[in-house]
Amino acid sequence: MSNLLKVSSSPHVRAKDDTSRIMLYVIIALMPTTLFGIFNFGLRALLLVAVCIITCVLSEFLFEKAVGKKSTIKDLSAVVTGLLLALNLPHTLPVWQAVLGSVFAIVVVKMLFGGLGQNFMNPALGGRVFLLISFAATMTNFEYDGVASATPLALLKNGEAVNTLDMLIGRCGGTIGETSAICILIGAIILILLGVIDLTIPGVYILSFAIFIILFGGHGFDATFLVAHLCGGGLMLGAFFMATDYVTSPITPMGKIIFGICLGVLTGVFRIFGNSAEGVSYAIIFSNLLVPLIEKVTVPRAFGVVRPKKVKEVKSNE
Amino acid sequence: MGLKTFKGGVHPYDGKELSKEKPIKDILPQGEMVFPLSQHIGAPAVACVNVGDMVLRGQKIADAGGFVSAPIFSSVSGTVKAIEPRRVATGDMVNSIIIVNDGKFIETGFEKCDDYTALTSDEIIKKIQDAGIVGMGGAGFPTHVKLSPNNPEKIEYIIANCAECEPYLTSDYRSMVEEPEKLITGMKIILSLFPNAKGLLGIEDNKNDVIKSLTELTAKEPRIEVVPLMTKYPQGGERQLIKACTGREINSKMLPADAGCIVDNVATINAIYTAVVEGKPVIDRIFTLTGDAVMEPRNYRICIGMSCKEILEAAGGFIREPAKIISGGPMMGFAVMDCDIPTTKTSGALLCLSEDEVSKFETTACINCGRCVEACPENLIPSRLSKFSDHGDKEQFESWYGLECIECGSCSYACPARKPLAQSIKTMKKMVLADKRKK
């Protein structure tokens, strides 16, 4: 019987992109902001990036070994998590804290919930928020050019002036990967051109956040204030690289829009009405929790199907 | 650009260059012929010959088993050897008439019709019914049933499916290049049945030469119009084609006639021409033999009932070891375990690939990327439907519109986790529909 041919259900061809290739695209798109971060903050930044990536990959490998599962480190998703976590840390953070955050991100947020595709919140942000709560002092210790300095958002919060040009380029204090809006946008364009993300979530997020700032920011339509808020903090990095995380964002087209609005409003609330100058991380992980609900109410109408409401009405009339 | 299309779809490698340039070549069968009695949707045909009978080419060997059914004709002259189950492309064993070909091809004689305009609608439909015409693009729905809607005057569009969106297939393309008058006359015959209908020829823009030549040929036909379509799979899906050509949408519970449309593919319309004008039943068809494993990929005019193996041998056999042989195209065709299967009215192609992409890849976890959602022409969420299918959750499957799936395979094609989404959705669909029939 060995000369019988292989059979399988159609289709018999597959597209080129697989999971590890998509992850590789994300890593490539993160390179401009990573390199700028290293240039901006020095070798300490490079050390943290390396530590986070190695710890993430190693903890995924060891966890899977421990529970007797097949290793999935080849899909590069742990590399992306490590890189994103590092970009969300201040370059002054002690190495052991970075290691702890990476282990938390992979083991607690990702692997304990079933590994890739099953986590309900973005692992990198889960790790960052864990560190932010545990080590508030070192996580908000921002230095620039060797001098302890407030981030532009903290300055804004206190009503001080900021230099928006420096913020666009990234020559200011902040976490390793969040300061340069231009580098992040270059990465975003790479992702969009490679078809990894579409503009829906980041577009709606940034737009609704901008509207929120104009309405409730207390400055009306003040271009400098608006640009400072858009480029400041983790908004750009969060909008393009973390809110668009496939696993933790809605799959339905309408859901993506609602998700984006949630993000924009929550970020606005946290930044304007909250105590902290920052809000992006919390906004994203809160919205991650809403995803199952959002998806449930945004099941798209199938092609050619009459809106279900009308169908129900007709039935009840009968 | 103004090219018409639908939302969703994918762009697989089309492989058409392998076979599209070479003219259609005739192949005459030598060996045994197999005619499955069920090669259409509906009741199986009923054999009307006995073992030992002599038959001629064009002679009816099986009667239609009902209204939704079609008769079957011998494509060779010879002797009935047996009536027994044989394996067909889908893998099923189907009761078939086996005829030993005498190699003489003696015909019954076909009654030509010089002026089809003198025929009444009923006469035309009778000719189509008696010729055993079914949807030759693969579905196999009896054409006379399709052409007999309740209100013929309410049909506004007759759409010729000239999209040929399946990769690798070029049989419709070749016949439009070589015998376009058959398509146009066939369309005119159908239009004569529907006084208020307009004929649309929906052609993908990867066949620009055909778009041009058919536009010129139909310039003087006020009722026929060429509609250039965007090249995208599954542009030739019935619902997608109707949407692109007319803007109307139908769902799984509707027939095209509910939207005032009737869709037939090129091979079917050519068969209508052959039946009405030449008086010949469905005994031949154009067949694409292609793939990187075959010696001479091209289109052949074959006698229906020939074994795929014989076609392969006549065409020079393999140039490389085939890893996978598919009856039909790569997106919706059936993989066969052996190529000794008969061709039927609906067999349009045999694709022989030297590499099996599907078994090369490993399935990984779904990362919720939404590529299947973007690809789905039916606006479904395939990843979720496949999950419901894995969990056996029939209720959720239905409420997320699982039954609307047209099984085009775009989701599996696009999936970066290489999950067999279409396969699990198809399985669940069958189970849900089976439950419904029980009730």
Residue B373: pLDDT band (50, 70, 90) is very high
Mean pLDDT calculated for residue range A108-119: 92
- Helices and strands: H and E segment counts in chain B: 14, 17
Average pLDDT value for residue range B30-52: 92
Is 60 exceeded by the pLDDT of residue A309? no
**pLDDT band, very low/low/confident/very high, at A313 (cuts 50, 70, 90):** very low
Identify whether the C-beta of residue B175 lies closer than 8 Å to the C-beta of residue B21.
Answer: no
pLDDT for the residue B428:
95
Q: Which amino acid is at B353?
A: L
Residues 6+ apart with CB under 8 A from B74: B33, B35, B55, B56, B57, B58, B59, B61, B99, B283, B305
Whether A97 has its CB under 8 Å from any CB of chain B: the answer is no
- For B167-210, how does the pLDDT look when each residue is reduced to its tens digit (9 = 90+)? 999 999 999 999 999 999 999 999 999 999 999 999 999 999 99
Paired residues of B298 in beta bridges: B289
pLDDT value at residue A224 = 85
**Nearest-CA distance from A66 to chain B in Å?**
20
Do A15 and B323 lie within an 8 Å CB cutoff? Answer: no
Strand pairing category for B324-327 and B298-303: unpaired
What is the pLDDT at residue A316?
Answer: 42
**A1 contacts chain B (CB < 8 A):** no
- How do residues B288-312 score in pLDDT, each as one tens digit? 999 999 999 999 999 999 999 999 9
Could you give the percent of chain B with pLDDT greater than 90? 77
Q: What is the pLDDT of residue B2?
A: 67
Ramachandran quadrant class, B247 (left: phi over 0; alpha: psi -120 to 50; beta: rest)? left
- C-alpha distance from residue A123 to each of A23, A74, A111, B53 (Å): 14, 17, 10, 75
Per-residue pLDDT at B1? 45
Phi, psi of A236 (to 5 degrees): -65, -50
Q: What is the pLDDT of residue A173?
A: 85
> Is the model's pLDDT at A315 over the cut of 70?
no
How much of chain B, in percent, has pLDDT values that exceed 70?
100
> What is residue B388's predicted lDDT score, i.e. its pLDDT?
94
Mean of pLDDT values over A60-66: 95
pLDDT in tens, B298-347: 999 999 999 999 999 988 889 998 899 999 999 999 999 888 899 999 98
CA distance linking residue A188 with residue A248, whole number of Å: 18
Q: Is A229 left (phi over 0), alpha (psi -120 to 50) or beta?
A: alpha
Whether the predicted pLDDT of A238 surpasses 80 = yes
CA distance A223 to A226: 5
Best B252, B364, B419 member to test A by mutation, with max A CBs in 10 Å, is B364
Peptide bond preceding B234: is omega within 30 degrees of 0, i.e. cis?
Answer: yes
Q: Span B388-415, mean pLDDT? A: 93
Domain locations along chain A: 19-293
Residue type, A61: F
Look at residue A289 in the predicted model and tell me its pLDDT.
93
Dihedral in degrees, nearest 10, Cα atoms A62, A64, A70, A71: -40
Give chain A positions within 8 Å (CB) of B291: none
What are B415-429's pLDDT values in tens digits?
999 999 999 999 999
pLDDT for res B138: 77
In whole numbers, what is the pLDDT of chain A averaged over residues? 89
* B330 vs A contacts (CB less than 8 Å): 10-13
| pLDDT top residue among B414 and A305 | B414
Best A14, A16, A311 member to test B by mutation, with max B CBs in 10 Å, is A14
pLDDT exceeds 60 at position A144: yes
In this structure, what token pair is assigned to residue A102? 């990476």
More confident residue, A1 or B230: B230
Segment B28-39 mean pLDDT: 92
Give the β-pairing of B224-229 and B198-204: parallel
pLDDT of the residue at A308: 53
CB contact under 8 A, B336 and A305: no
Chain A environment of B326 (Cβ under 8 Å): 10, 12
Q: Is pLDDT above 50 for A310?
A: no
Residue appearing with tokens 């903890």: A59
CA distance A7 to B339: 12
pLDDT for residue A317: 42
Task: State the DSSP code for B57.
Answer: B
Nearest to residue B376, comparing CAs of B237, B204, B229? B237
User: What are residue A233's phi and psi, to 5 degrees?
Assistant: 60, -155
Q: Where does the pLDDT of residue B3 fall: very low under 50, low under 70, confident under 90, or very high at 90 and above? A: confident
From chain B, pick out residues whose CB is under 8 angstroms from the CB of A10: 326, 328, 330-335, 407, 409, 422
- Does residue B28 register a pLDDT over 70? yes
Cα–Cα distance for residue pair B250/B259, rounded to 1 Å: 7
- Whether the pLDDT of residue A154 is over 70: the answer is yes
The pLDDT of residue B52 is: 92
Q: Give the one of A13, A17, A117 whose C-beta lies nearest to B365's C-beta.
A: A117
Domain with CATH 3.40.50.11540 in chain B: 116-277
**Interface pTM, i.e. ipTM:** 0.87
The band of A311, judged by pLDDT with boundaries at 50, 70 and 90, is very low
Q: What is the pLDDT of residue A162?
A: 81
Q: What is the pLDDT of residue A314?
A: 45
Three-state DSSP string of A206-217: HHHHHHHHHHHC
Give per-residue pLDDT as tens, B85-143: 999 888 889 999 999 999 889 998 888 888 888 899 999 999 999 999 999 987 889 99
Strands B157-162 and B198-204: parallel
What phi, psi does B420 have (nearest 5°)?
-80, 65
Asked if pLDDT for residue A233 goes beyond 90, the answer is no
Instruction: CATH number for B116-277: choose from 3.40.640.10, 3.40.50.11540, 3.10.20.30, 3.30.390.10.
Output: 3.40.50.11540
A196 CA to chain B: closest CA distance, Å?
Answer: 9
| Backbone torsions φ then ψ of B350, nearest 5 degrees | -130, 120
Mean pLDDT of chain B: 92
Name residue B139's amino acid.
A
Q: Has residue A95 got a pLDDT over 50? A: yes
Contact assignment for A5 to B338 by CB distance below 8 Å: yes
Fold of A19-293: Ammonium transporter fold (1.10.3430)
A164-189 confidence digits (pLDDT tens): 888 888 888 889 998 899 999 999 99
Task: Please give, rounded to a whole number of angstroms, the shortest distance from the CA of A311 to a CA of chain B.
Answer: 13
Residue to test with chain B: of A192, A196, A303, most B Cβ within 10 A: A303
